Amino acid sequence: MATKEAGRGPASYKPLSMSPKEYQQFAKSRQPSRPVFANCVRAFLVGGFICFIGEGVQRFFMAAFDMTSRQAGNPTVAVMILISVILTCLGVYDKIAQWAGAGTAVPVTGFANSMCSAAIEHRSEGLVLGVGANMFKLAGSVIVFGTVAAFFVGIVYWILGVSH
Amino acid sequence: MLQGRRTWIFDKPPVIVGTGTVVGPDEGEGPLAGDFDLVHPDMTIQQPSWEKAERLMLEQASDIALSKAALSKDKINFYVGGDLINQIISSTFAARTLGAPYLGVFGACSTSMESLALAALLVSTGAARYAMAGTSSHNCTAEKQFRYPTEYGSQKPPTAQYTVTGAGAAVVATEGDGPRITSATVGRIMDLGLKDPFDMGSAMAPAAVDTIQAHLQETGRDPGYYDMIVTGDLASVGHPIAADLLKRHGVPIAETQFNDCGLLVYDIAKQKVQAGGSGCACSATVTYGHLLKRLASGQLKRLLVVATGALLSPLSFQQGESIPCIAHAVSIES
């Protein structure tokens, strides 16, 4: 067994002595940062591309079924949701999202992905306690805060006397 | 036996007489593919749930370890195991199949060395003739429990790590052929206030450093005593931080090869795993598969495995708690 002499060798190894603040700064200078600019560019391109497809679908409904742009809105959203759900089920959507970031999260396709992925994930716990209870696990907060926001916007409209 | 405050020097060093490693498709595409006993080409392994797939891998790993040790299930006195899933169910179900007396442990990703250290302690003190240490993790069960549904499209930052899909088991015996477990140092909780669950390497680095320093101090060894000191899953963010911390505290870590299982298991330049691997199976499969093969071939003679664990729960980080971390060290010599 090696002897423990003070001043050199293992006995002299100082114990870890850093305050949390010091360490957080130490670690921060060594952490790679998120590529914010590249993420913005990708989100712009992919988000824009999804909207471009949506626009194409809408034009199709307007031309093929003689709809107004307002009438074509709902079937267009349904088609976009269907595409998103199919891509989620094929296991592709999350791979695109890792590259695209907010580009795939913000459009309606992201909302569909959040519900579909939760439903698939919790299918093993049954239809009621699994799929039913967990489907809105991620989408639920969008609905809650969307409704709350709509309430306050409605109040502003009422105060300003704006009505349809 | 006990040396210093928290190091066990095994007077009768127990022997690892058999190991089993099972991994999933991503690990099978990594640089260590040839060192694993069984590589599954898909994540589901024809099971109806991710949890069942993880359990099956652990059962397969323990079967392989037993067959390599030429032992039947009923020879195992104690099975020491744990995993990442709530109430460590993967290990419990695997223990049900094994039918061995069972000690469940939880050390998050440090479970691999926590279980091996305890198995070695049981065997070396005469409390067991044969003990098995086992652990598992599955990328999809971990994502489901700690993050989001697996198919949810969220963008992970470059500091995030990719949970290894796999399982590792080792049979520890009083005597036989194989590498010997010579000592173990038990970690303490280190929490320096980091809160980002997508950067566990930075959170765990101080725990690894603390355990390495304690191990070297209490055994009176220099880093150069070991051919390799390998951390569990610090990956490309945490590992350089740990190396810098060691240098800063006067530990000549350059005397040895200082590596990390999370960096070894994947080709992080090519595979989409962000900073590298993590999970219980990361250090378990790399140690029991790759590193013990290098010990057997004589490329390494003395190895110190420092398995790191981030002991957070989804509840604790959502409530704004920081991430408590730990690291357990086990020395294995040929």
Are the beta carbons of B155 and A93 separated by less than 8 Å? Answer: no
Give pLDDT, residue A17.
Answer: 81
Tell me the shortest Cα–Cα distance from B293 to chain A, in angstroms. 28
Three-state secondary structure readout of B181-243: EEEEECCCCECCCCCCCCCHHHHHHHHHHHHHHHHHHHHCCCHHHCCEEEECCCHHHHHHHHH
Distances (CA, A) of A149 to A153, A156, B43, B101: 6, 11, 41, 57
Mean pLDDT of chain B: 97
A vs B, Cβ pairs < 8 A, gives 135
CA distance B87 to B78: 19
Condensed to tens digits (0 to 9), the pLDDT of residues B180-192 reads 999 999 999 999 9
Asked if residues B231 and B246 have their Cβ atoms less than 8 Å apart, the reply is no
Q: Which residues pair with B229 in a beta bridge?
A: B258, B304
Tell me the shortest Cα–Cα distance from B184 to chain A, in angstroms. 16
* Residue A6 DSSP label: T
Average pLDDT over residues B24-28: 97
Are the beta carbons of B153 and A113 separated by less than 8 Å? Answer: yes
Three-state secondary structure readout of B236-267: HHHHHHHHHHHHHCCCCHHHCEEEEHHHHCCC
Average pLDDT over residues B229-257: 96
Are the beta carbons of A94 and B154 separated by less than 8 Å? Answer: yes
Which of residues A5 and B201 earns the better pLDDT score? B201
Condensed to tens digits (0 to 9), the pLDDT of residues B208-224 reads 999 999 999 999 999 99
Q: Which residues contact A150 (CB under 8 A, 6 or more apart)?
A: none
pLDDT value at A4 more than 60: no
Residue of B nearest to A29 (CA): B241
Average pLDDT over residues B228-245: 97
Asked if residues B57 and B22 have their Cβ atoms less than 8 Å apart, the reply is yes
Condensed to tens digits (0 to 9), the pLDDT of residues A27-69 reads 999 999 889 999 999 999 999 999 999 999 999 999 999 999 9
pLDDT category at A161 given cuts 50, 70, 90 is confident
Using an 8 Å CB-CB cutoff, list chain A residues near B191: 20
Condensed to tens digits (0 to 9), the pLDDT of residues B42-54 reads 999 999 999 999 9
Tell me the shortest Cα–Cα distance from B49 to chain A, in angstroms. 6
pLDDT category at B75 given cuts 50, 70, 90 is very high
* Residue B150 DSSP label: T
Q: Which of A100, A101, A138 is nearest residue B152 as measured by Cβ atoms?
A: A138
pLDDT category at A8 given cuts 50, 70, 90 is low
Torsion of CA B286, B290, B296, B301, to 10 degrees: -60
Average pLDDT over residues B154-160: 94
Asked if residues B164 and B279 have their Cβ atoms less than 8 Å apart, the reply is yes
pLDDT value at A7 more than 70: no
DSSP codes of every residue in chain A: -----TTSSGGGPPP----HHHHHHHHHTTSPPP-HHHHHHHHHHHHHHHHHHHHHHHHHHHHHS---HHHHHHHHHHHHHHHHHHHHHTT-HHHHHHHHTHHHHSSHHHHHHHHHHHHHHTGGG-IIIIIIHHTTTTHHHHHHHHHHHHHHHHHHHHHHT---
Using an 8 Å CB-CB cutoff, list chain B residues near A138: 148-149, 152
Give pLDDT, residue A163.
Answer: 64
pLDDT value at A90 more than 60: yes
Using an 8 Å CB-CB cutoff, list chain B residues near A26: 241, 244-245
ipTM entry:
0.88
Residue of B nearest to A98 (CA): B155
Q: Which residues contact B70 (CB under 8 A, 6 or more apart)?
A: B18
Condensed to tens digits (0 to 9), the pLDDT of residues B85-131 reads 999 999 999 999 999 999 999 999 999 999 999 999 999 999 999 99
Tell me the shortest Cα–Cα distance from A49 to chain B, in angstroms. 17
Asked if residues B329 and B185 have their Cβ atoms less than 8 Å apart, the reply is yes
Condensed to tens digits (0 to 9), the pLDDT of residues B265-316 reads 999 999 999 999 999 999 999 999 999 999 999 999 999 999 999 999 999 9
3-state DSSP assignment of residue B129: coil
Are the beta carbons of A88 and B151 separated by less than 8 Å? Answer: yes
pLDDT value at A107 more than 70: yes
**Two tokens, residue A98:** 């890792």
Characterize the bridge pairing of strands B180-185 and B7-9: antiparallel
pLDDT category at A3 given cuts 50, 70, 90 is very low
Give pLDDT, residue A6.
Answer: 42
pLDDT category at A164 given cuts 50, 70, 90 is low
Q: What is the largest CA-CA distance in chain A?
A: 91
